[in-house]
Structure 1
Amino acid sequence: MKVIKEKQEMRSWSRAMRKAGNRVALVPTMGFLHSGHLALVEEAKKHAQHVVVSIYVNPGQFAPNEDFGSYPRDIDGDLQKLQPFGVDAIFNPFDLYERHSRLNTSANGIAGSHDTKGFLQSDDSTLCEDDTYGQEHETWIQVEKLSKPLCGQNRPIFFRGVATVVAKLFNIVEPDVAIFGKKDFQQWRVICRMVRDLDFAVDIVGCPIARDFDGIAMSSRNVHLSPTDRCQALSISRSLREAAESVTECEVSAQLLVEHVRKAITAAGGKIDYASIVDQETLKDVREIRAPVVFAVAAWFGGVRLLDNIELQPPQSLLES
């Protein structure tokens, strides 16, 4: 398993694999890997002869008040977890935003520190919001409509950062296929649209949500949940399952289903960011479930923001009518 830090080395390695007639799959991650990530690796092996896992905590998707500085990191542990899975290369870049001359970044494996806002700082300067990425980087990718609802309502720069770093990874790794989990359904849709609109020659595969033994959606941030918060957070997945059961029993009112989930999460002590039923393609809110939809939830428990969703189909009776 080869660990690659430099962009040109990564590109050269990938091109050599493809020149030999083999397909390359990319699994983009921010590290602190769990079983959900490893399931993506297993899926990647079905689509290509060689698998690359990228590990990079992307500062471009974090706002100043978010948890970039405290996002969990464990590169040594990640390498140990990946060792048995036949991964060919780990792309763990020092920095994808060209800040080497100004910063010693700790986010992705080299020395440095963080200020109270989560921005990176060097020994001689602390960055303000306007120059977080230095003077060199000023190009961003924005998927206009799909980035606005759901997470985009309260995280306006998030999908700009996601789309930009994924585009950079595609240009560096040059994969034939990339594997994404659908826990963040909106992120998956944004990437699919970016690939379509910008003509990336990359197949995008979305994988179902991986859940822990108790039903909670797997997330690197789950490590920050106390036992009590984790138990209460199960109200998210439990209420979504109940909503799905109601749909099979021909409940099609989005308002009633959303109200049920909101009450369940709030009663358990959660603070809801959003709970919305949206069209799977456009991510626009729907009033009734008469086409494939996704019921997406973001909620806070114990200061930890958790995502979950469930994909729903219209009741069979509607499809037959």
Structure 2
Amino acid sequence: MKILTDPIELQHQCLTWRNQGLTIGLVPTMGFLHDGHMSLIDMARPQCDKLVVTLFVNPTQFGENEDLDNYPNDFDGDCAKAEAHGADIVFAPAPDAMYAPDHSTWVNVPPLGTHLCGASRPIHFRGVCTVVTKLFNLVQPTKAVFGQKDWQQLAIIRRMVRDLNIPVEILGHPIVRETDGLALSSRNAYLTEAERAAAPAIRQGLLKLAERVKNGTRDAEAAKHWLVKEYASTLPMGIVDYIELVTPDSIEPVTTISSPTLAAVAIRVGKARLLDNILIEV
């Protein structure tokens, strides 16, 4: 396995592979790899000839007072894990290798980035779309894998690829969870012992909400209000960033739950901002 830091060197290697008729898989990450990341790598590995895993904490998707400077990292451990799961290249550039001092070009998908994380992190998806586009240009992947924990991100990337005719197939991988239901996240490392013990209530609340819909609840506002009260009872230390019911593809809020609907939440527990979601079939 090669560890590369130079974007031009990465691009040259990937173009050489493509000229040889080889297919390339891409798994973009911000590092501090856990079993969820490993599942993305394992999904991509058998579907391509060569596999690139990126370790890049992208500064342009962080706003003021977010955790850019404190984002957890374990570079040596990440490289060992990526190699053990079959990566051919780990790409770990410095920020100034990816963004020139006078960088001024951005990629954005505003309609899908208005709600959920886009409401509280207004520059986030502009940074995500821009860096993912740059990675697509460098790697020239045949397929790229993203996790469904960041459902809105996955929907935005799919729309971006469609709108810009980028020749890559986007694959979504189901959320990987701890045995108690907590969605795996690098930011789980921020949780104290007490916070970690309480955090599974996020998933439990979503499951209860889905059951209520199955039993006849159709009013979205009533469903959200119920979940707010549920978390106030079961996760009093949590601070709700958002609780929303939206269309799965266009991420538009719904008023009536009459077709498949995504229930998505972001809850702040201590220093961690935890995402989770559930697709409710009606």
| TM-score scaled by length of structure 2 | 0.95
Separation in structure 1 between the aligned mates of residue 108 and residue 96 of structure 2, nearest angstrom: 18
Partner secondary structure for residue 310 of structure 1: strand
Q: Which of the pair is proportionally richer in helix?
A: 2
Separation in structure 1 between the aligned mates of residue 261 and residue 246 of structure 2, nearest angstrom: 5
Q: Which letter does structure 2 place at the counterpart of 1:257?
A: A
Please name the residue that 2:250 is paired with: 282
Matches within 5 A, 1:107-122: none
Structure 2: which 5+ residue stretches go unaligned?
A: none
Q: Which letter does structure 2 place at the counterpart of 1:288?
A: T
Does residue 204 of structure 2 align to residue 238 of structure 1? yes
Please name the residue that 2:267 is paired with: 299
Separation in structure 2 between the aligned mates of residue 146 and residue 158 of structure 1, nearest angstrom: 12
Separation in structure 2 between the aligned mates of residue 214 and residue 254 of structure 1, nearest angstrom: 27
Separation in structure 1 between the aligned mates of residue 199 and residue 268 of structure 2, nearest angstrom: 8
Please name the residue that 1:103 is paired with: none
Matches within 5 A, 1:1-321: 1-95=1-95, 134=101, 136-267=102-233, 268=235, 269-314=237-282
Partner secondary structure for residue 222 of structure 1: helix
Separation in structure 2 between the aligned mates of residue 97 and residue 286 of structure 1, nearest angstrom: 42
Q: Is the 8 A contact 1:289 1:313 kept in 2?
A: no
Higher relative contact order (CA 8 A, sep 6+): 2
Q: Which letter does structure 2 place at the counterpart of 1:27?
A: V
1:227 Cα offset (Å): 1.2
Separation in structure 1 between the aligned mates of residue 21 and residue 57 of structure 2, nearest angstrom: 31
Q: Which letter does structure 2 place at the counterpart of 1:256?
A: A
1:20 Cα offset (Å): 2.2
Structure 1: which 5+ residue stretches go unaligned?
A: 100-132, 315-321
Q: Is the 8 A contact 1:236 1:261 kept in 2?
A: no
Q: Which letter does structure 1 place at the counterpart of 2:185?
A: S
Detail structure 1 runs of 4+ shifted over 4 Å in the superposition: 96-99
- 211-220 or 43-52, which moves further after superposition? 43-52
Deviations 1:223-257 (A, max 9, x none): 01011111222111000011122222232222232
Separation in structure 2 between the aligned mates of residue 196 and residue 17 of structure 1, nearest angstrom: 24
RMSD: 1.4
| TM-score scaled by length of structure 1 | 0.84
